[in-house]
Amino acid sequence: MSYLGRSTGMFALAVLTLTFGLSTAALAGQVNTIKDGWLVMKVHSEFVDEDVLSGSNIDVDVKNGVVTLQGTVPTEAARARALEVAKKNDGVKNVVDQLRIAPAAKGTMDKAADKTASAADKTEDKMDKAGDKSASAAKKTGRAIDDGWIKSKIYTQYLADWNTVLDDSDIDIDVDNNVVTLNGTVKSAAAKAKAVSIAKATDGVKDVKDNLKVAATSR
């Protein structure tokens, strides 16, 4: 092969390598653009149906794929499950555990007890009507509707609207005695209205305090 041929081949290889590198970087950038906000909602969405987390009130914070869990859980088993659920999500690089174990509030325990009793009553009635089918259905009593559940439930519903009006939103939800406070930013007035509407319609919510701001768009 001539010197000119070798030079041309090396140049083509260098261009191909550079192009591939730029394409890979661009793809990584696209993947990371929604990861943090999306992951907050995704992790919360998986907390909703975890019975062991009844009485928990967990905050999920994500920065560059690193998930930090703060707040309270009622037992060590609840802590372990929360960490396990968070770690299994695609895009999670690491999970920082800052959870504290604290007994569930009395109101939460009363609600859980009432729910269990109600489920038991329904089970007895259904067993008379449908036998084994009812007994199987009765095994799942579900997570109690408390502050922590309300927070995760709202985030779950926000996740469903991520690809429409709520994309690019950065919303922080606080719940105290069933009163929801929304802080953070959304991309439009329509997104703000949607976020507030979803929160108000969630089971157990008594009131919603709207502190959301519409982010300024650059031109």
pLDDT of the chain, 219 residues: tens digit per residue: 555 455 555 545 544 444 444 443 333 344 444 468 889 999 999 999 999 999 999 999 999 999 999 999 999 999 999 999 999 998 999 999 999 999 876 554 444 444 444 444 444 444 444 444 433 333 344 688 999 999 999 999 999 998 888 988 889 999 999 999 999 999 999 999 999 999 999 999 999 999 999 987 644
Q: What is the pLDDT of residue 208?
A: 98
**3-state SS string over 114-126?**
HHHHHHHHHHHHH
CB-based burial, 169-197: b 16+ in 10 Å, e otherwise: bebebebeebebbbeebbbeeebbebbbe
The pLDDT tens digits of the residues spanning 173-211 come to 999 999 999 999 999 999 999 999 999 999 999 999 999
Plot region of 65 (φ>0 → left; ψ -120 to 50 → alpha; else → beta):
left
Contact 56, 43 (CB under 8 A): no
Q: What is the pLDDT of residue 9?
A: 55
Q: What is the pLDDT of residue 8?
A: 53
In sequence order, what are the residues at sequence separation of 6 or more whose Cβ sits closer than 8 angstroms to the Cβ of residue 59? 69, 70, 71
Q: What is the pLDDT of residue 83?
A: 98
- Distance between CA atoms of residues 25 and 42, nearest Å: 25
CB-based burial, 67-102: b 16+ in 10 Å, e otherwise: bbbebbbbbeebbebbbebbeebeebeebeeebeee
- What is the distance between the terminal CA atoms of the chain, rounded to a whole angstrom? 54
